[in-house]
Amino acid sequence: MPAFISRLFIVFVALSALAACSPGESNVAQGNRDGILHFGNGSEPQGLDPHVVTGVPESKLIDALYEGLTRKNPWTLEPEPGAAARWEFSEDRRVITFYLQPEGRWSNGDPVTADDFVWSWRRALDPAMGNQYAYMLYPVANAEAYATGQITDPEALGVRALDDLTLEVTLTEPTPYFLQLMDHYSSFAVPRATIEKYGKATDRFTQWTRVGNIVTNGPFQLKEWKLNRRIVVEKNPHYWDADTVKLNGVVFYPTENIVSEERMFRVNQLHYTADVPLDKIPGYRAQVDSPFVEAPYLGTYFYLLNTKRAPMDDVRVRLALSMAIDREALTESVLYGSNDPAWSITPPGTLGYQPPQLFSYDPGKARQLLTEAGFPNGEGWPTVELMYNTSESHRKVAVAVQQMWKDVLNITVTLSNQEWKVYLDSVSQMDFQIARRGWIGDYVDPNNFLDMYITDGGNNNTGFSDPVYDELILREAPQALTREERFAIFREAETRLMTQMPILPVYTYASKHLVHPSVHGLPPNLMDFINLKYVTLEAEPLPGNGVQ
C-alpha cells in the first residue's frame, strides 16, 4: 500500500472511530428541530379513560388527547372555547346552552355532537361506572340522584341535545364555577361507538383505550404506548383548531424516580420534569438563568386516615397524630422552605377564602390525647403502617413524620411504598391505615376541596361521614346568595371536618419543575396547568452566531 494511501486510511479510521464514540443528538436538540416535546410525567398512568382515572399523571395525557366543552387558558386560568364555540346563560343562571364547534371532529374524522356529551355524561354518572369523580357533575339537575341510584331514568338528567351542535344543561342551583368543571376530564365526551365495540358502556379498562383503537377529540392523538417507557402522542389533523397547535408531538416519560429524571434533564433528554429532587433545590435556586421554576400551587399534601380501622377509628388518636407533627420544622428542613404548613384541607386564599386553624404543633396535648385513647407513652400501640406511592420526596416526608411520632408519642409506625397503580387501588379500596395523599384543585374554588368528604364521595377514602357536613356542602352552600355567605358555610363545614380529623394536613403545595429554555407557552400558574395546544419549541441562539 503506498504511504500516502496508508496515511489517508489511518486518518479515515481515526475519524470514523471518533464519530462512533461521539454522543448522539440529544432528545432536546432533535425535539427542537422536529417539534417534539420530551415531557417528564411522573408515574406510569393508570389508564386513559376520562371516567375512570383520577391522578395528575393521567390528567396531563388526557388533556392532550381530549377536549371538554371549555379549555383552560394557561395564563389566566379562565375558561375559553373548547369543544363548545360559545355558551349562553339563562337569566337565573340555571340553564346553560352550549353551541359546539361546527368543525369539531373526533380523531377518526367523525363529527363531535351534542349527543356525544349527553351519552358520555350519562355514562360518567352511571353507578355501574364506578366513577370516583361523578360528584363533579352533581350541579347538573338530578345528577346526584342518578349517580346514587335514587332515580334510574337517564332521561331525567338535566342535559339534552337540542340538535347536533346545541347542548342544553340545566343546573339545580346557579354554580359560579360550573364552566371550570367543563375543562375537567370528568365532563369530557368519550366515543360511544368505540367503547361499545370493546364491551359495555360501563366496563372499565377495556381495549378501547389501546393504540390503534382509541378515538379522541383533542389537539393530539395516541401514537405509541410502551409500558413503563414512554407514551407518544402526535398532532391530531382533525382537531378543529389544528392551526394553533405548533407541536408535532409529545413524548411522555413515566419518571417516578425524580433523581433519574433530573439527570435526564441535565443531559438534555427532557425538556420538562414533573418534579425536582428536594436536595437539588438550593443549587438550582442559586444558578443564574436557572431552569428551575417554582410557583404557588392550589393543592394540599396530607395523610388519609382510615377511620374504619383501629386505632384510627378513635378521634383522639387522629388528633394526637396531627398535633405531634412539627410542620414548621418539616417544611424548613425537609422541603427547603418551598412549601407552607397546612392546617386544613383547603389552601388559604382560595378565591379569598380562609380556612379555620383549629390546632397547632402541641406535643403535650398530643401525648394527653394518646393517653386518653389507651396508649400512655405509646404502651400497647398496635402495628400501624403508613403507605405512600413510590417517590423519594414522599419517602423523605414520611421518614420525618415517622420520627416525629416516635419522638413525641413514643410510637412506631412502619413505612410502605407502593407503585402508583397499586397505590391507587389500595386507596380506592381503603386497604390502608394511613396513606399519603395529595389533592390538586380541579377548579379555583373551596368547594373543590370540601366536596371530597361528603358521605361515600368517590375521593373520600377515609370512611368519614357527617350528615350535617353533607347538608352544608351539598344543599346550603349552593343556595347561598353571596360569596360571603357561601364562605361562612364552608368554614362551618371545614370546622366540622377538622374537628373529626379524618385527614392529617401536612403542607400546601408549590409546583417545582425544570424547564428547558427552548420551551415557550408553559407559564407557571396556580393550578400548574399545562395547555399543550399553546406550547412551542424554539432552538436556543448560539453565542455570537444569531439564532440556531
Q: Most distant CA pair in the chain: distance in Å?
A: 98
Rounded Cα distance, 260 and 116, in Å: 42
Rounded Cα distance, 1 and 196, in Å: 73
Sequence-ordered list of residues with C-beta below 8 angstroms from that of 537, at least 6 positions apart, any chain: 31, 32, 35, 36, 37, 246, 247, 271, 518, 519, 520
Rounded Cα distance, 472 and 467, in Å: 9
Q: What is the CATH number of domain 67-193?
A: 3.90.76.10
Residue 389's closest CA among 504, 289, 304? 304
Strand ranges in 215-289 using DSSP code E only, listed in sequence order: 220-226, 230-235, 249-253
**Same topology between domain 67-193 and domain 298-510:** no
Cβ(473)–Cβ(451) under 8 Å?
yes
Q: What is the CATH number of domain 298-510?
A: 3.10.105.10
Domain boundary assignment for the chain: 67-193, 298-510
- The one-digit pLDDT tens for each residue of the chain (548 residues) are 443 333 333 333 333 333 333 358 999 999 999 999 999 999 899 999 999 998 899 999 999 999 999 999 999 999 999 999 999 999 999 999 999 999 999 999 999 999 999 999 999 999 999 999 999 999 999 999 999 999 999 999 999 999 999 999 999 999 999 999 999 999 999 999 999 999 999 999 999 999 999 999 999 999 999 999 999 999 999 999 999 999 999 999 998 899 999 999 999 999 999 999 999 999 999 999 999 999 999 999 999 999 999 999 999 999 999 999 999 999 999 999 989 999 999 999 998 999 999 999 999 999 999 999 999 999 999 999 999 999 999 999 999 999 999 999 999 999 999 999 999 999 999 999 999 999 999 899 999 999 999 999 989 999 999 999 999 999 999 999 899 999 999 999 999 999 999 999 999 999 999 999 999 999 999 999 999 999 999 976 444 333 22
Please tell me the pTM assigned to this model. 0.86
Strand ranges in 8-101 using DSSP code E only, listed in sequence order: 36-40, 70-72, 79-81, 84-89, 95-100
The DSSP bridge partners found for residue 299 are 440
Strand ranges in 164-291 using DSSP code E only, listed in sequence order: 166-170, 220-226, 230-235, 249-253
Hey, what's the cell of 277?
A: 429532587
Cβ(193)–Cβ(201) under 8 Å?
no
- Beta strand 413-418 with 384-389 is parallel
Rounded Cα distance, 463 and 430, in Å: 8
